[in-house]
Amino acid sequence: MLFIRLVSTMGLESFLWQREILIDDSGWGDLILGVVIGALILPDHKYLERRIPVSSFQPPHFKKKKYLDDAVQIAEEIIEVMVDNKPVRFKVCSGYVLSSVRRYLRNHGFYVEEVEITGELQELVEGSYIKWCEEIGVSTEMWGSKRSFWSLLKWVAKNPKDRERIVKTGWKSWRQKWRAKAYEMSKT
In Å, what is the CA distance from 25 to each residue of 2, 7, 72, 97, 188? 26, 36, 13, 8, 35
Q: Which domain holds residue 79?
A: 4-138
Q: Which residue has the higher pLDDT, 117 or 148?
A: 117
pLDDT at residue 85 in the model: 77
- Is residue 184 included in any domain, yes or no? no
Query: CATH number for the domain including 79?
Result: 3.30.420.10
pLDDT at residue 144 in the model: 67
Q: Which long-range contacts (CB under 8 A, 24 or more apart) does 68-73 make?
A: 68/97, 68/99, 68/100, 69/100, 71/25, 71/35, 71/37, 71/97, 71/98, 71/100, 71/101, 72/100, 72/101, 72/104
pLDDT at 4 over 70: no
Closest CA to 39 of 31, 30, 50, 28: 50
pLDDT in tens, 46-100: 999 999 999 999 999 999 999 999 999 999 999 999 988 778 899 999 999 999 9
Minimum mean pLDDT range among 68-72, 133-137, 146-150:
146-150
- Is residue 64 included in any domain, yes or no? yes
pLDDT class of 17 with cuts at 50, 70, 90:
low
- Is residue 36 included in any domain, yes or no? yes
- Is residue 79 included in any domain, yes or no? yes
- Is residue 53 included in any domain, yes or no? yes
Mean pLDDT of 31-39: 97
pLDDT in tens, 98-113: 999 999 999 999 999 9
pLDDT at 2 over 70: no
Total domain count, the chain: 1
Q: What is the mean pLDDT of the chain?
A: 89
Mean pLDDT of 24-42: 96
pLDDT class of 128 with cuts at 50, 70, 90:
very high
